[in-house]
Amino acid sequence: MSDDDDFRAAADGVYQALLARVGEGAPEHRLDATRRAVELLGDPQRAYPIIHITGTNGKTSTSRIAESILRAYGLRTGLLTSPHLVRFNERIVIDGVPISDEELVRNWEDVQPYLEIVDSELVEAGKAPLTFFEALTVLAFAAFADAPVDVAVIEVGMGGEWDSTNVGDGQVAVFTPISLDHTKALGDTVAAIARTKSGIIKPAADVVSSAQPSDALSELIAAAELTESTFAAQPEAFDVATTAVAVGGQLVSIRGRAATYDELFLPLYGDHQAQNAAVAVAAVETFLGRGTQPLNRDLLEEGFATATSPGRLQLIGIEPSILVDAAHNPAGAESLAQALGTYFDFDEITVVFGALGDKDVRGIVRALVPIANQFYVTQVRSDRALDYLELGDLVREETDEDATFVYADAEEALVAARDWAAEAPRRAVVVTGSIVLVGDAMAISEAGGWKAAS
């Protein structure tokens, strides 16, 4: 066995060790446990400035676009996103590349003894040990310090105030659109969710926000005032000026905080991605020059051109076309439906669909019905998944019996949908509803040689 194989096996072991902890669907509402762990490690999260990003939809894409722009400026970047699609290493990205197996294992060996110390202290105090995401946060902060990076773009796991990433102090706090999601953990109103998310705003920070519902905006403004932070929100401070469909993506013009940047090629589909790009530009303008210095046009073009957002309206198969999108709430599904109508010209679409039990599944389906000729409902590989038979019944209630088919196995559903699409031109398959399902579809496509050339 080669050294690469050894490190691959060891890296998979790291992921298994993390999976043995309480999962991401049941976060602890606390910071003290993560704070204790990073203190024992010498506070690696203080070794570099942080751009901290939260919201309900668009967090990952905004994070990736901002990181790409910063890297175009020659900065060595760290990027933490969740969840992963195919391999765990995708969550911790250093200078544009997922952390190597060797670096992952080495950093894990460094932090594991300290995690065990904190686990023991917590158990002795009658509290739960560090969760999966708390341990991941510690690992990522340590890996970024070890790299080392010049700046880290950190995506919140869930919420904000008590999310483990909040042990880091964001120089810039960024908010993508806020809507209802994770209501059991975050609250059942947009205002309550925004209040929790506003907890990432630190004293005298700079705040950048996308356009928000009025009740969310009020919460963010109040938090910024309380912390004596600056506040720049869309559309007053920045906005998307124009978008136009282009081959492989779109041409966008963005009115930034410091300048207007005309006709930039963005290799991502959907008006929502243009909005994410505008927030990313404002965030980088804020980080580099407090929103007063225009970005370099050539570097911004490079940052946009090299930006990727895997699993977000991504073409993973051709002849027939197979797309995946990580929409897992109604707002995300509405953006997906709109983008499919604007950027593609399919005659018929089958949606391969699976979902977790804590999602507004009926709302997602209703958003997709206008663009879907039929649904192939399947089981998501997660202990939080909604049973495929129950999901099938729910989808039938929103569509009809003849347009809904159920499959216990996701690969079987995907192959059947692909066979259907191959029977006629201008048919397509869209896989959505769950990030886990999207990741599995990407792996199946790769193994089957369906993937489109990049």
User: pLDDT digits over 280-322, tens only?
Assistant: 999 999 999 999 999 999 999 999 999 999 999 999 999 999 9
pLDDT at 183: 57
Q: Is pLDDT above 90 for 382?
A: no
Confidence category of residue 1, pLDDT binned at 50, 70, 90: very low
pLDDT at 185: 60
Please indicate, yes or no, whether residues 331 and 214 belong to a single structural domain of this protein.
Answer: no
User: pLDDT digits over 127-173, tens only?
Assistant: 999 999 999 999 999 999 999 999 999 999 988 999 999 999 999 99
Q: Is pLDDT above 50 for 323?
A: yes
Please indicate, yes or no, whether residues 196 and 274 belong to a single structural domain of this protein.
Answer: yes
Q: Is pLDDT above 50 for 249?
A: yes
CATH number where 58 lies: 3.40.1190.10
Average pLDDT, the chain: 94
CA–CA separation, 283 and 289 (whole Å)? 10
pLDDT at 401: 84
Distance from chain centroid for Cα 402: 34
Per the CB < 8 A criterion, the answer to whether 169 and 195 are in contact is no
Confidence category of residue 384, pLDDT binned at 50, 70, 90: confident
Q: Is residue 453 part of a domain?
A: no
Please indicate, yes or no, whether residues 255 and 398 belong to a single structural domain of this protein.
Answer: no
Please indicate, yes or no, whether residues 243 and 331 belong to a single structural domain of this protein.
Answer: no
The whole-number average pLDDT for the span 83-105 is 96
Q: Is residue 125 part of a domain?
A: yes
Please indicate, yes or no, whether residues 179 and 150 belong to a single structural domain of this protein.
Answer: yes
Please indicate, yes or no, whether residues 288 and 409 belong to a single structural domain of this protein.
Answer: no
Return all residues near 57 (Cβ < 8 A) that are at least 6 apart: 176, 177, 179, 272, 329, 331, 332, 335
Q: Is residue 454 part of a domain?
A: no
In the chain, the number of structural domains is 2
Intra-chain end-to-end CA distance of the chain, in Å: 31
Q: Is residue 187 part of a domain?
A: yes
Percent of the chain's residues with pLDDT above 90? 89
Please indicate, yes or no, whether residues 43 and 170 belong to a single structural domain of this protein.
Answer: yes
**Which of residues 305, 329, 347 is at a domain's end?**
305
Please indicate, yes or no, whether residues 286 and 330 belong to a single structural domain of this protein.
Answer: no
Q: Which residue has the higher pLDDT, 224 or 452?
A: 224
User: pLDDT digits over 352-373, tens only?
Assistant: 999 998 889 999 999 999 999 9
What number of helices (H) and strands (E) belong to the chain? Answer: 15, 17
Please indicate, yes or no, whether residues 277 and 323 belong to a single structural domain of this protein.
Answer: no
Please indicate, yes or no, whether residues 298 and 324 belong to a single structural domain of this protein.
Answer: no
Q: Is residue 160 part of a domain?
A: yes
pLDDT at 134: 98
Confidence category of residue 453, pLDDT binned at 50, 70, 90: very low
Please indicate, yes or no, whether residues 159 and 13 belong to a single structural domain of this protein.
Answer: yes
Strands 249-255 and 260-266: antiparallel
CA angle, 56 then 377 then 443, to 5°: 70
CA–CA separation, 172 and 51 (whole Å)? 5
**Which of residues 305, 323, 358 is at a domain's end?**
305
Confidence category of residue 182, pLDDT binned at 50, 70, 90: low
Q: Which domain holds residue 359?
A: 314-448
CATH number where 399 lies: 3.90.190.20
367 backbone φψ class: left, alpha, beta (φ>0; ψ -120 to 50):
alpha
Percent of the chain's residues with pLDDT above 70? 97
Confidence category of residue 215, pLDDT binned at 50, 70, 90: very high
**Which of residues 305, 326, 354 is at a domain's end?**
305
pLDDT at 159: 85
Q: Is pLDDT above 50 for 424?
A: yes
The H or E element containing residue 155 is strand 151-155
Q: Is residue 243 part of a domain?
A: yes
Q: Is residue 115 part of a domain?
A: yes
Please indicate, yes or no, whether residues 140 and 174 belong to a single structural domain of this protein.
Answer: yes
Q: Is pLDDT above 80 for 441?
A: yes
Confidence category of residue 87, pLDDT binned at 50, 70, 90: very high
| CA-closest candidate to residue 213, choices 184, 186, 228, 234 | 234
Q: Is the pTM for the entire model greater than 0.85?
A: yes
pLDDT at 454: 41
Q: Is residue 378 part of a domain?
A: yes
